[in-house]
Structure 1
Amino acid sequence: MASFDIVNKIDVQEVDNAINNTLKEINTRYDFRGLHTEVEFHKKENRIHLVAAESMKLEAVKDMLIKNFIKRNISPKVLDFKEPQGTSQGHLKMDVQLKEGIDKETAKKITKEIKGLKLKVQPQIQDDQVRVTGKKIDELQAVIKHLKAKDMGVPLQFVNLK
């Protein structure tokens, strides 16, 4: 029996590199000179904390972050931007949660999509991943091709093809 796993993993080092590139870009941009701007990465909580002087600067930091994630081959779909809030100094802050793993609803959506293909494969939800098993590797590759064409709301990686 051949199988593969569908996962959503984030390379923490690449996220760190993207954030460092964003900070470098903020330091070199003329329109950010003299303004309070922060970008902090909390690895333990998979969270990025943004602080900017005004809403336009916060949007610019957000755009820079997305651009640097794309440059680093990290899908911007992993970024879950929360609502901006005011701080006591009159700045705006925003938390960005990094989505890692496949939640239950998305996993059910993936298994429904696979079963809809009418191939002889069996999808199984295992914690935050989906394992697909089948007798023929060609059928498994057809599932991968089909899922790559679909938008599931999270970036999917296909690993452990055996």
Structure 2
Amino acid sequence: MPSFDIVSEVNEVEVRNAVDQTNKEVSTRFDFKGSDARVEQAEKVLTVFADNDFQLDQVKDILRTKLAKRTVDVRCLDEGKVEKVSGNKVKQAITVKVGVETELAKRIVKLIKDSKLKVQASIQGDAVRVSGAKRDILQDTIALVRKDVTDFPLQYQNFRD
């Protein structure tokens, strides 16, 4: 029985490269001269430091641009709240979301069941497995999910006949 998985993954090497490129550009730009603006990465959390809110927005914009150039979907970034550090310096934690969250997985399964396509969808940890009798129906399911779920980056992997 043919099947495929709906997952959400991020290439961590590309994220690290984008963070390095962002730090390099911030260190060479004239408007950041003498400031403490930078991006630090720890596992799936990126912490953006800056001297004020305007510089924080500038660094985040550079980071998003570098991620987009490296084909990392910026919809997987979850920005936390801006925190004051010492004086007027600020920082913000940005989480890189990996895996299909439970709410989204339930929404995808409900969407597939409501579509009346002859496929079965089940939640498998942080992925959704879809199986059906024919390859054409699975391709219709991929098209349906692509059209309806636009707020989160999804990949379709592990296609088996």
Equivalence for 2:18 = 18
Which consecutive residues of structure 1, in runs of 5 or more, have no partner in the other structure? Answer: none
Which consecutive residues of structure 2, in runs of 5 or more, have no partner in the other structure? Answer: none
Question: 1:151 offset after TM fit, Å?
Answer: 2.9
State the alpha-carbon separation in 2 of the partners of residues 68 and 151 from structure 1: 25
Please point out which of 107, 115, 118 is paired with 2:105.
107
State the alpha-carbon separation in 2 of the partners of residues 105 and 155 from structure 1: 15
Please point out which of 40, 60, 63 is paired with 1:62.
60
What is the RMSD of the two structures over their aligned residues, measured on CA atoms? 1.1
Q: Which amino acid aligns with 1:150?
A: D
Partner SS state of residue 140, structure 1: helix
Partner SS state of residue 106, structure 1: helix
State the alpha-carbon separation in 2 of the partners of residues 63 and 77 from structure 1: 13
Q: Which amino acid aligns with 2:41?
A: F
TM-score, normalised to structure 2, is 0.95
Q: Which amino acid aligns with 2:114?
A: G
Please point out which of 89, 92, 98 is paired with 1:91.
89
Contact 2:51 2:90 in 1 (8 A): yes
Question: 1:152 offset after TM fit, Å?
Answer: 4.7
Question: 1:116 offset after TM fit, Å?
Answer: 2.1
State the alpha-carbon separation in 1 of the partners of residues 147 and 36 from structure 2: 42
Question: 1:29 offset after TM fit, Å?
Answer: 1.3
Greater shift, 147-156 or 134-143, is seen at: 147-156
Residues matched between the structures, number: 160
Question: 1:115 offset after TM fit, Å?
Answer: 1.4
Does residue 130 (structure 1) correspond to residue 128 (structure 2)? The answer is yes
Runs of 4+ in 1 over 3 A off after TM superposition: none
Partner SS state of residue 82, structure 1: strand
Question: 1:89 offset after TM fit, Å?
Answer: 3.9
Question: 1:90 offset after TM fit, Å?
Answer: 2.5
Does residue 149 (structure 1) correspond to residue 147 (structure 2)? The answer is yes
Partner SS state of residue 159, structure 2: coil
Equivalence for 1:50 = 48
